[in-house]
Amino acid sequence: MINLPFRSDDLATVAYSVFPENRGQGVAPRAVRLLARWALSDLRLKQLILEASEGNAASIRVAERCHFRYVGTCSGTVEGDRQERTVVFALEGLGSAGQ
C-alpha cells in the first residue's frame, strides 16, 4: 500500500506499508520509485518527503535506495509519554532550487 498525502500544492509525503509476507522482495523501493517519478514529473511537485522511525532500518534503506537525501531527525511523543525519533528524507523535483 502506498499513499501520497499532500502538505501543500507542491509538497507531499510518501507513506507506505508492505505486508509481512512480501517484505524483503523489493516491493517498497519499486513502489516508492514509481510514485516519486509520477509525483515529480506528472504532478510537478517540487519535493517529496519520506519519514521513517529511527529504529526502522528497512524504511531507511528504502529512502536511501530511492535516492532521497537525509534532511535530519525530529522527536515527538507517541503513545503517552514515549519519545520517538523520526528520520526525515527529501527528494526534489526538476523545478526545485539547486537542480
The residues spanned by each domain of the chain are: 2-92
What share of the chain has pLDDT > 70, as a percent? 93
Please state which CATH class domain 2-92 belongs to. Answer: alpha beta
Average pLDDT over every residue of 81-85: 84
**Is 2:32 a contact under the CB 8 Å cutoff?**
yes
Judged against a pLDDT cut of 50, whether residue 3 lies above it is answered with: yes
Q: Give the pLDDT band of residue 99 (cuts 50, 70, 90).
A: very low
Banded model confidence at residue 79, pLDDT cuts 50, 70, 90: confident
Q: Are 52 and 63 in contact (CB under 8 A)?
A: yes
Q: Give the pLDDT confidence score for residue 78 in this predicted structure.
A: 67
How many other CB atoms are found less than 10 A from the CB of residue 52? Answer: 18
